[in-house]
């Protein structure tokens, strides 16, 4: 038995672990939905899958890859500004602090895993077809190909919906923290760190990679701010007490707290002078 166990472990590759992690995330999310979002164990399993799949990518990229003297100096910034690390970090926060499920925290990971699984299966099947073998039954492959086409055609909408969930999740966490719900402050602080990591590239170069959708997140926060401002303006004309709330929001929250949060510098992550890119005008 021990010999068989060792042989089995030898056959497990990083690729299989990565794929299994995404499958675990997707399957757990679907089962969690079928449980009417009541099973905390299934909710936690979603993030176990996330940690496994994203952890494999980070291990391969930063631990197994040979380092030179020049790359060692920049490794900390590279790791923290890597979208895989950022989502690994927040998944760890959700896993540790979850006393009950939170629907808004699931969509980004569900969408990531769905795209990765379909892409992986499609590529595997192409390789198998070239060798006259079948990775999965033809009928199942036809279904998956059609599903992949549907998801790809609606990718923009899905990514935007995922980003909106991240925005409203922040509002939800803020409300929970204000009302001192269980572990809410830990979750809020963890989420603020996650947002700050997403803003690293934006603060340093004013350029945002398409991969981590940071610009989309910023746009959705701006959209939410505009809706709040419009609503407060509308109700303040008929209710003087709302005017006070509007002043607090505009003068304190927006002009002090948010600006200070954006200007916070994370140690060791500021770009060296020679690395800085000329700032763009964002009028």
CB 43: neighbour CB atoms within 10 A?
Answer: 25
Residue 6 pLDDT: 55
Residue 273 pLDDT: 39
CA-CA distances (angstroms) from residue 124 to 15, 22, 118, 136, 252?
12, 15, 10, 9, 54
Residue (of 275, 264, 94) closest to 196 by Cα position: 264
Cα distance from N-terminal residue to C-terminal residue, the chain: 68
135 backbone dihedrals φ, ψ, rounded to 5°: -75, -45
Assessment of whether the complete model's pTM goes beyond 0.75: yes
Residue 148 pLDDT: 77
* Distance, CA of 121 to CA of 25 (rounded, Å): 16
* pLDDT profile of the chain (283 residues), mean per 10: 52 85 96 93 96 94 71 71 93 93 94 91 72 64 77 86 93 90 92 89 50 77 88 82 82 75 64 39 32
Q: CB of 223 within 8 A of CB of 231?
A: no
Residue 200 pLDDT: 76
Residue (of 211, 188, 203) closest to 90 by Cα position: 188
Residue 277 pLDDT: 36
């Amino acid at each position: 038995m021990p010999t068989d166990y060792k042989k089995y472990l030898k056959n497990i590759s990083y690729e299989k672990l990565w794929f299994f992690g995404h499958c675990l995330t997707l399957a757990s999310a679907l089962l969690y939905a079928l449980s009417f979002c009541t099973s905390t164990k299934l909710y936690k399993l979603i993030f176990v899958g996330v940690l496994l799949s994203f952890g494999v990518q980070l291990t391969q990229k930063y631990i197994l890859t040979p380092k030179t003297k020049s790359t060692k100096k920049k490794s900390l910034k590279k790791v923290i500004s890597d979208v895989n690390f950022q989502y690994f970090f927040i998944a760890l926060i959700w896993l540790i602090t979850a006393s009950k499920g939170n629907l808004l925290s699931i969509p980004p990971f569900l969408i990531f895993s769905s795209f990765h699984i379909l892409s992986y299966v499609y590529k595997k099947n192409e390789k198998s077809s070239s060798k006259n073998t079948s990775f999965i039954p033809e009928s199942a492959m036809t279904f998956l190909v059609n599903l992949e086409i549907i998801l790809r055609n609606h990718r923009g909408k899905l990514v935007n919906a995922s980003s909106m969930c991240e925005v409203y999740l922040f509002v939800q966490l803020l409300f929970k923290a204000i009302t001192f719900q269980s572990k809410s402050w830990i979750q809020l602080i963890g989420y603020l760190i996650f947002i700050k990591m997403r803003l690293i590239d934006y603060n340093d170069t004013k350029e945002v990679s398409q991969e981590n959708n940071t610009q989309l997140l910023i746009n959705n926060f701006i959209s939410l701010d505009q809706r709040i401002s419009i609503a407060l303006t509308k109700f303040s004309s008929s209710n003087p007490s709302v005017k006070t709330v509007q002043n607090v929001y505009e003068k304190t929250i927006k002009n002090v707290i948010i600006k200070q949060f954006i200007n916070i510098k994370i140690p060791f992550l500021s770009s060296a002078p020679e690395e800085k890119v000329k700032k763009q005008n964002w009028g």
